Amino acid sequence: MRERDPTGEKEAPLIVFTGRSNVGKSSVIRALTGKKVLVGKRPGSTRWEQMIEMGSITIVDVPGFGFMDGQSKTTIEESKTHIIHSLERWSNRILLSVLITDISQFRNLYERWTARGEIPIDVEFYSFLCEISPRVVVIANKADKLMKSRVQGELDFLVEEFREAVTEREPTVIVTVASKKTGVSLLRDLIDDILEEEGLETPRWALI
């Protein structure tokens, strides 16, 4: 039996979905679970963590970090701090962290941040997730926004930068087009392998 917290609530292991605003976190969760999590055209549509009970595990739709439509810089900074604190608090329950990125923008943003002498936020978050979770998988979403011939090159760039940021782990990357549900079954299979390894039951996923 799993441990229960003092309030008597069941502490199911967590799979957390994180990433910058508007990269498609909620869309990936929707494709995977079939649950009607809110998907929005504008950054900042998921404002608070959404806990989605999936039987043996709980999936967490974490609000996006970085730019949010109509929000001040202070609010955005506060929101990022809140996300980091929540993730740290949950860290001993996390089975897997899923970092969603927009592969069509990754290199562009990377170059913009490094030109300013800053660590790109995707890289900073990847390093942070590697510190607090036993496994991290990176989703290269919105691959449809790149010309087909460019996908591999952009992917290689992302892997190279993440490999350099966290040398102890080889990055695991899955390419998806969440709005068309493409590639999401690969994430489901990866999660199922982890659950089997942990002796946990497979949830009822959406048919993808």
Ligand X SMILES: Nc1nc2c(ncn2[C@@H]2O[C@H](COP(=O)(O)OP(=O)(O)OP(=O)(O)O)[C@@H](O)[C@H]2O)c(=O)[nH]1
Residue with tokens 């300013």: 116
Stretch that binds ligand X, among 127-135, 140-148, 163-171, 190-198 (CB under 6 A): 140-148
Q: Looking at beta carbons only, is 75 or 92 nearer to ligand X?
A: 75
Of 36, 44, 87, 51, nearest in space to 67 by CA: 44
Give me the least distance between CB of 74 and Mg ion, in Å please.
Answer: 21
Q: Which residues sit at the interface with Mg ion, rule CB under 5 A? A: 25-26, 46
Say whether residue 25 binds ligand X (CB under 6 A).
yes
205 neighbors 33 (Cβ within 8 angstroms):
yes
Neighbours of 33 (CB within 10 A): 20
Give me the least distance between CB of 34 and Mg ion, in Å please.
Answer: 16
CA 78 to chain centre: 19
Cα-Cα-Cα-Cα dihedral sign, residues 101, 128, 202, 8:
negative
Give me the least distance between CB of 109 and Mg ion, in Å please.
Answer: 18
Q: Write out the residues near ligand X by the rule CB under 6 A.
A: 19, 21-27, 39-41, 43-46, 63-64, 141-142, 144-145, 177-179
